[in-house]
Structure 1
Amino acid sequence: MPSLELKAPSLELKVPPVAVMLLVALMMWLVSLITPVIALTFFVRLFIGAMFAVAGIAVALAGVISFMQAHTTVNPTTPNSASNLVDSGIYRFTRNPMYLGLLSMLLGWAVFLASPLALTGTVVFILYMNRFQIKPEEKALLNVFGEAFLQYQAKVRRWL
């Protein structure tokens, strides 16, 4: 009997996280066009949305800079080529600051769209990233760094 199971490994580490974020942002925008929105002024939506977006950019950049300073790969599709386990700086608070930054940008987008249903896009992003990006990355990092990664994983949360 043929399996109806999704070929999950075929998606693992294949779609760059920025592309996932952009696809989810597009989906959120489309949802906002056909669902009720909250009556907020343009200025309020822009200001609050921009605050989330700027915070997200700062968190993501802190992650990229930490990787660059450690001379390790920032390529999310090849975690097995990591040369150093980064556990300082922003990585003391979150194991995935770049993805957390993208999530914060999506939250800002949802606020700007003023569509409560568009917020489901952030849930889709988290679920996708956990399954198809983060879990495979963690497996690769465990293979590369062994016990050091397990210790880091035990003391720092995946998102926040």
Structure 2
Amino acid sequence: MALKIPPLVLMLLAALIMWLAAILTPGLTFQLWGRFGFALALVLTGGAIAALGVLQFRAAQTTVDPRYPQQSACLVSNGIYKLSRNPMYLGFLLMLIGWGIWLTNPVSALVPPLFVIYLNRFQIRPEEHFLKQKFDDKYIQYCRRVRRWL
């Protein structure tokens, strides 16, 4: 299962599951004052963080598709990558949390932590393994300076 599902597809699938969970358990949905603004802020912030990650990869002329880490042309460690080793994934997570706030359903709120667990196991660890092999000490030093998520 490692590196098989594009993370964007995984995020959209998680959002769909969250929506279905909210529909199937309507009695658990609650009211939350200010949910629209808070949800929108998280979705926009997450989208911006993910977009910055993509733009940084494009500027470095390296692949954005994490399913093929062997196509990585260089180690990107500047810009948003000084704050997070995985800003695209962090952005997706913030978007899912915002969506969860919009849905205001505790069952749907279970999905973002599962998203993180899945990404860590089947996406990030295999990527990190490859990057350690390809970039050796440079990548190890980068990992010591910058956290995986935030």
User: Identity of paired residues, percent?
Assistant: 44
Structure 2: unaligned runs, 5 residues or longer: none
Does residue 58 of structure 2 align to residue 58 of structure 1?
A: no
Does residue 41 of structure 2 align to residue 30 of structure 1?
A: no
Post-superposition shift, 1:74? 0.6
Alpha-carbon separation, structure 2, partners of 1:146 and 1:130: 20
Alpha-carbon separation, structure 1, partners of 2:2 and 2:80: 25
Post-superposition shift, 1:47? 1.7
AA partner of residue 129 (structure 2): K
Aligned residues between the structures: 148
Alpha-carbon separation, structure 1, partners of 2:145 and 2:135: 15
Cα-to-partner distance string for 1:98-151 (whole Å, 9 max, x where unaligned): 000000110010000011221111001000000000000001111110110001
Structure 1: unaligned runs, 5 residues or longer: 1-10
Does residue 113 of structure 2 align to residue 123 of structure 1?
A: yes
Alpha-carbon separation, structure 1, partners of 2:7 and 2:79: 22
Of stretches 128-137 and 113-122 in structure 1, the one that deviates more from structure 2 is 113-122
Alpha-carbon separation, structure 2, partners of 1:55 and 1:75: 22
Q: How does 1:59-98 map to 2 (within 5 A)?
A: 59-98=49-88
Cα-to-partner distance string for 1:56-97 (whole Å, 9 max, x where unaligned): 010001101111111111111111211111111110110000
Query: Which TM-score applies when normalising by structure 2?
Result: 0.95
Alpha-carbon separation, structure 1, partners of 2:131 and 2:71: 9
In the other structure, the counterpart of 1:3 is none
Does residue 118 of structure 2 align to residue 133 of structure 1?
A: no
AA partner of residue 150 (structure 1): I
Post-superposition shift, 1:40? 2.6
Alpha-carbon separation, structure 2, partners of 1:96 and 1:103: 11
2:107 is paired with a residue whose SS is helix
**After TM superposition, which residue ranges in structure 1, 4 or more long, deviate above 2 angstroms?**
none
Post-superposition shift, 1:46? 2.2
The Cα RMSD (Å) is 1.1
Cα-to-partner distance string for 1:32-66 (whole Å, 9 max, x where unaligned): 1233012135xx32221111000001000110111
